[in-house]
Amino acid sequence: MFKNFSQRFEDAEKPLYGPNFWILKKMGLILPDSRTGKALYILMHEIVAFFVFTQYIELYIIRSNLDLVLTNLRISMLSIICIVKANTFVFWQTKWKDVIDYLTEADRFERESNDPQRRIIINKYTNYSRRVTYNYWILVFITFLTTTGSPFIHFASAVYRESIRNGTEVFPHIFSSWVPIDKYHPPGNYITVVWHISVCAYGAMIMASYDTSIMVIMVFFGGKLDVLRERCKQMLGTGEVALSDSEVAARVRELHDTHVLIMKYLRLFNSMLSPVMFIYVVMCSLMLCASAYQLTSAQNTAQKLLMAEYLIFGIAQLFIFCWHSNDVLVKSDNVMLGPYESEWWAVNVRQRKNILLLAGQLRISKVFTAGPFTDLTLSTFITILKGAYSYYTLLRD
Instruction: List pLDDT tens digits, range 99-141.
Output: 999 999 999 999 988 889 999 999 999 999 999 999 999 988 9
CB atoms within 10 A of CB 184: 15
**Domain of 107, in residue numbers:** 2-27+92-153+207-396
Residue 366 lies in a domain: yes
Higher confidence at residue 313 or residue 28? Answer: 28
Q: Which of 114-118, 271-275, 303-307, 369-373 has the lowest mean pLDDT?
A: 303-307
Residue 302 lies in a domain: yes
Residue 140 lies in a domain: yes
- The pLDDT, as a whole number, for residue 52 is 93
Residue 265 lies in a domain: yes
Model confidence at 344, pLDDT cuts 50, 70, 90, reads confident
Cα radius of gyration (the chain): 25
Residue 86 lies in a domain: no
- The pLDDT, as a whole number, for residue 387 is 78
Is the CB of residue 236 less than 8 Å from the CB of residue 248?
yes
Residue 34 lies in a domain: no
Nearest Cα to Cα of residue 261 among 18, 370, 98, 88: 98
What's the rounded mean pLDDT across residues 71-92?
88
Domain count, the chain: 1
Model confidence at 2, pLDDT cuts 50, 70, 90, reads low
Is the CB of residue 371 less than 8 Å from the CB of residue 275?
yes
Torsion over CA: 87, 99, 4, 139 (sign): negative
CA gap 227, 63 in Å, rounded: 54
Query: What percent of the chain clears pLDDT 70, i.e. is strictly above it?
Result: 93
- The pLDDT, as a whole number, for residue 46 is 94
Is residue 98 exposed (0-12), middle (13-18) or buried (19+ Cβ within 10 Å)?
middle
Give the list of residues 6+ apart from residue 197 with CB closer than 8 angstroms, or none: 148, 174
Residue 213 lies in a domain: yes
Residue 47 lies in a domain: no
- The pLDDT, as a whole number, for residue 318 is 85
Does the pLDDT of residue 159 top 90, yes or no? no
Q: Tens digit of pLDDT for each residue in 218-277?
A: 999 999 999 999 999 988 876 566 778 888 899 999 999 999 999 999 999 999 999 999
- The pLDDT, as a whole number, for residue 19 is 93
CB atoms within 10 A of CB 156: 9
Nearest Cα to Cα of residue 100 among 13, 195, 1: 13
Give the list of residues 6+ apart from residue 90 with CB closer than 8 angstroms, or none: 28, 29, 31, 41, 42, 45
Model confidence at 195, pLDDT cuts 50, 70, 90, reads very high
| Helix pair 245-297, 93-111: axis angle to 10 deg | 120
Tell me the whole-structure pTM to 2 decimals. Answer: 0.91
